[in-house]
Structure 1
Amino acid sequence: MTALPLMPKATAVWLIEKTGLTFNQIATFCGMHPLEVQAIADGEVAHGIVGYDPVMNHQVSAEEIARCEKDPNANLKLLTSSNPVKRRAKGARYTPVARRNDRPDGIAFLLRNFPHLQDQQIVKLLGTTKDTIAKVRDRQHWNSQNIKPRDPVTLGLCSQMDLNAAVSAANDRLTREGQEIPQPLEMGNGGE
């Protein structure tokens, strides 16, 4: 399967309006049928769609469009990008509704097995609040009697890589402060 540009219909609208490419060239590039492209050009389809500029969005070069305008048999080639979607670096993570009740279990696991993690690290890992962490720690959470420490990675609340990075950062902090790094409890003690 060939890669398609982001927002193919909007890209087709832009190519129809701004270039001299044939319907077949646009259809091939956007993964559409030539008749659909012709219908867009005739205003029968996609009349409310705003064109999406593939040149400004680094999906195709202006030189590539010019090359294909000169040769009606040539096909546009999508520019390869190492990572077209930027990863969110900061902010709370979205946790599906079905997994939200698992958060206190994940918090309890981290508090028991990695007591040297700071509350802010747990907040970032699990997308929770410091208040919820304090309530789980003090057994003041509304559902305290049902909280069972369970690994947040297996619950799908964070990745193993993120958990390892947080634990490593906490270990480095303790080493800098000259404190001993606590050993995690055995996983068999209520880990799952």
Structure 2
Amino acid sequence: MTDILMPKATAVWLVDNTSLTFEQIADFCGLHPLEVRGIADGDVARDIRGADPLVNGQLTREELDKAQNDENYRMQAVVSRHAELLKSHKPAPKYTPVSRRQDRPDAIAWFVRNHPEVTDAQIAKLLGTTKSTIESVRNRTHWNSANIKPVDPVTLGLVGQLALDELVRKAADKKAKDDAKKGGATLQPVDAPEAAEAEPEFVPEARERRGAEPTAESVFGKKD
């Protein structure tokens, strides 16, 4: 694959302004030689305006001269920082064989039942499915809900054991951190119940001080 910008427009300019062969132009622009021949015949890229690779800094004059003097020479493009910026660094979506795609709802159901801490985005990325499919399995609105059974995705051959373990570990760590932030994973101080008041200190009742020996009057009372 070529790294140059506007490959067809560049091919149009090289066809019109150089003596390069179709193979040389095709190799430099990342096109098929027949496509370059179609450009020369006016059947391909008829409305495309040519782009000079010398002016836009994608080819040096020395490289062009070498190629025009030797039809077996293949030109090397100048690496453009703009081309690097335009490249997509997003990883390709996970491909699941057609024979395995019918097993994905079973794997989704396994995640929903056994690992609720794993987010829908993580499941979708691992299994190559969509959030709407995950939601339909969870809510049992999937068209095949009656036949969906939770099955380990490793057993189904959708993912490897190491990838599954890593995903579950990351999800569990994230959940633990979120719980800690919310205070759910920390022990709260136990307050004493309002009804349980401190027991008053026992104070013995003051005993009546006994006087001298009892008298008849104190025992039988006074006579009228």
Q: How would you bin the TM-score normalised by the shorter chain?
A: 0.5 to 0.7
Change (3 A) 1:97 1:54: farther
The answer to whether the 8 Å contact 2:12/2:51 transfers is: no
Aligned to 2:117: 116
**1:138 Cα deviation from its structure 2 partner:** 5.2
**1:67 Cα deviation from its structure 2 partner:** 1.5
1:173 aligns to 2:168 (yes or no): no
Aligned to 1:22: 20
Change (3 A) 1:41 1:77: same
Aligned to 1:128: 130
5+ long unaligned stretches in structure 2 = 186-224
The answer to whether the 8 Å contact 1:13/1:49 transfers is: no
Spell out, residue by residue over 1:23-62, the C-alpha distance to the aligned partner (whole angstroms, 9 max, x if none): 25325535655x874563242x315473686959x9x823
What is the letter of the counterpart of residue 107 of structure 1? I
The answer to whether the 8 Å contact 2:12/2:49 transfers is: yes
Determine helix, strand or coil for the equivalent of 1:15: helix
Change (3 A) 1:121 1:22: closer
Spell out, residue by residue over 1:115-135, the C-alpha distance to the aligned partner (whole angstroms, 9 max, x if none): 3213343345443235x5455
RMSD: 5.0
**1:14 Cα deviation from its structure 2 partner:** 4.1
Q: Higher mean Cα deviation, 155-164 or 24-33?
A: 155-164
Aligned to 1:187: none
Spell out, residue by residue over 1:89-138, the C-alpha distance to the aligned partner (whole angstroms, 9 max, x if none): 79x989788765433212112223423213343345443235x5455345
Aligned to 1:104: 105
**1:22 Cα deviation from its structure 2 partner:** 1.9
Aligned to 1:184: none
Determine helix, strand or coil for the equivalent of 2:12: helix
The answer to whether the 8 Å contact 1:10/1:51 transfers is: yes
Matches within 5 A, 1:5-16: 11-16=10-15
Determine helix, strand or coil for the equivalent of 2:25: helix
Aligned residues with identical type, % of pairs: 39
What is the rounded CA distance, in whole Å, between the counterparts of 2:134 and 2:32 in structure 1?
A: 51
**1:146 Cα deviation from its structure 2 partner:** 0.9
**1:83 Cα deviation from its structure 2 partner:** 10
**1:10 Cα deviation from its structure 2 partner:** 5.9
**1:173 Cα deviation from its structure 2 partner:** 1.1
5+ long unaligned stretches in structure 1 = 181-192
Determine helix, strand or coil for the equivalent of 1:116: coil
**1:167 Cα deviation from its structure 2 partner:** 2.7
Aligned to 2:198: none
Aligned to 2:48: 50
Aligned to 2:63: 68
What is the letter of the counterpart of residue 69 of structure 1? L
Matches within 5 A, 1:138-157: 139=140, 141-152=142-153
Q: Higher mean Cα deviation, 106-115 or 21-30?
A: 21-30
Query: Which fold has the larger relative contact order, with Cα–Cα distance below 8 Å and residues 6 or more apart in sequence?
Result: 1
Q: Higher mean Cα deviation, 70-79 or 8-17?
A: 8-17
